Amino acid sequence: MKPGISAEDLYRLKFVSDPQVSPDGEKVAYTVKRINKDKNYESHLYICTLSSGATVQWTRGSHNDTSPRWSPDGKLLSFVSDRSGKNQIWLISAEGGEAEQLTSSEGGASSPVWSPDGKSLLAAITVKKKTDGENRLRPLEVTELQYKADGRGMLKDEYSQLFLIDRETRNETQLTSGPNDHFGAEWSPDGDKIAFSKSRTNEDTVSYASDLVIQQLGGEEKIVSHGTGAFTDPVWSADGEYLAYFGQTFEHGSATLGNLHAVHLDSGVTVCLTKNFDEHAGDAVIGDMHYGHPAPKAAWSKDRKGLYFIATLNGNSSLHYATLEGEVSQITKQDCHLYGCAVDSENDYAIFAASSPVIPGDLFYASLSNSAEEVRLTDVNSEVLSEIDLSHPEEFRFTNDEGNSVQSWLLKPPRFEEVKKYPLVLEIHGGPHGMYGNTFFHELQMLAASGYVVLYSNPRGSYGYGQQFVKGCMGDYGGGDYRDLMAAVDYVLAHYDFVDMEQLVVTGGSYGGFMTNWIIGRTSRFKAAVTQRSISNWLSFYGVSDIGFYFTKWEIGYHLFEDPEKLWQHSPLRLSNRMDTPLLILHGEEDYRCPIEQAEQLFIALKQQDKKVKFVRFPKADHNLSRNGDPGLRVARLQFIVSWFDQQLEELENKGGAILENAAADRV
């Protein structure tokens, strides 16, 4: 009998991403990432010949090789590698051989983009402000709202600038400047201009606001996006007439759906291709294996009358097509998480990277004109998956108190027996505007393998079900979203008699951590809880989070100085005197998104009231510990969760047994 998946199996799993089709349409380059137990993460380049299916590993070693990009003639691949100690751009022949280092920038280089003639590349290079005593400890002078960022730490006058790299001479020419990050660059078809996104990091705005800019190479810049928002991933039509891009204007704050736009460059007229789509243009599926994969840009059709793009809806992300007139259709039909894609419109196919609940991530072929033609190209985890038993989720839906259908899933233990009773763990996603879906989620599989039935659901506030649904929790944290989650639990207890209603536990991270805190402050039906990287106090979150100064108003409705009582009413810390559920608090020391003081406040409040609580602090870990953190800490975190649930339920069972024995003795 095969075992279920374990925490340590993280070290054995592989993940495929970033497919790139060669100019002749005959090959696809891609990356395969794995977790090296001793040396953190590593990834390598692979090339698959589509006609034969033959796959060759192109790079090796204990380093990270990412972002493969074909030269226009198909003879070279550029890629990003840390093999020299810092991320730089390298070149390697498409026929094989040794790689050559192209850049040697002090700040590192990334995001290579070939010029149409193949003689140069664009690269994003981090430029630091020169100071005296560079290596000496010095004060950080803060004058802006945005002075820190999760995963980056304190922002010290370092910005990503675009450089032109001559392939032959290796000369580097800086094309952009100023206190802004520049990213997502794309050449015009004639090679005379570039389009890119330019952040607004030094303005009184949100941390990811950006403009879309066209620059005459090395010359004048022109903003082509309209209004304040996030405008990214420009892509030119082959005739240079249009520039398409993703964008949103924060109309509904962080709950605003992403849209696909196209601007006619001569007239300046911009159209939103997904205006009537009412779903998110982009990938919003949540998982713990896919963090950091590059989001693919939209791709123009062969006739230049529309674009292919990824969209999120109903538990899936899929390839869609939008015409310039705003008609949207779905191309791929699998129930899956499609997170990477390369479109070859000339040859009528796409290569996409996708995951399902039992596939961590592989490549697939899809015809653009025949939706029935989808073929799997890789199976990178065949060996490890042949040795373990994974669970297949069962989907169900229920109608909430507003008449909306709430999509949910139940994951049973691998060796499930209908006659047994099982404990149930309610998992709550972060965001809150993310979406659980048909993707591989190691943590959920591991909990099921540990003997738990796992319930995960998309309450109001989740992407995938239209604009009204995704903004449904704003200003109402702990209201309708709480009722949706409790309704999901009630539905399971009413329809599945193998769940033990006396053995319910709950966990979640970020917003899911907030909701875990809120739940145990509102009900005692859960016998154990684990809160991860959570929010407990909106009053202090406003000033300590790297996004608190705008996210608080977006989500709760007010700034601290506008209505502090409203913030306090939505703070789980206020309910600490009602929290009788044994609670494990997990938090990263360097989390700037939900800073660790949120956990500290909750721990002290509970401990002083003699509640059952334990606090685990993860060193050098930021908000994304569960997705890209230190491998050893990731495994330890999973072990803490399972052991806490097991311990609390065992103590409850022993206590119940002792009560029965005492009652029997009293009767005698």
* Long-range contacts of 247-251, Cβ-Cβ distance < 8 Å, separation of 24 or more: 247/212, 250/206, 250/209
> In a 3-state reduction of DSSP, which class is residue 440?
coil
* CA 148 – CA 517 distance, rounded (Å): 26
* CA 164 – CA 112 distance, rounded (Å): 10
Q: Is 450 among the residues known to form the active site?
A: no
* CA 638 – CA 86 distance, rounded (Å): 30
* CA 314 – CA 307 distance, rounded (Å): 22
The enclosing H or E element of 378 equals: none
Single out the residue of 450, 448, 455 nearest to residue 427, CA to CA. 455
Using only C-alpha atoms, the chain has a radius of gyration, in whole angstroms, of 26
**Which residue among the candidates 510, 536, 545, 626 is catalytic per the annotation?**
510
> In a 3-state reduction of DSSP, which class is residue 151?
coil
Do 239 and 283 contact (CB within 8 A), yes or no?
Answer: no
Do 420 and 267 contact (CB within 8 A), yes or no?
Answer: no
Amino acid in the structure at residue 236: W
* CA 329 – CA 346 distance, rounded (Å): 19
* CA 357 – CA 285 distance, rounded (Å): 12
Amino acid in the structure at residue 138: R
Q: Is 510 among the residues known to form the active site?
A: yes
User: Exposure string (b/e) for 34-53, b if CB count within 10 Å is 16 or more?
Assistant: bbeeeeeebbbbbbbebeee
Give the HSE-up count for residue 28: Cα atoms under 13 Å, Cβ half-sphere. 30
Active site residues: 510, 623
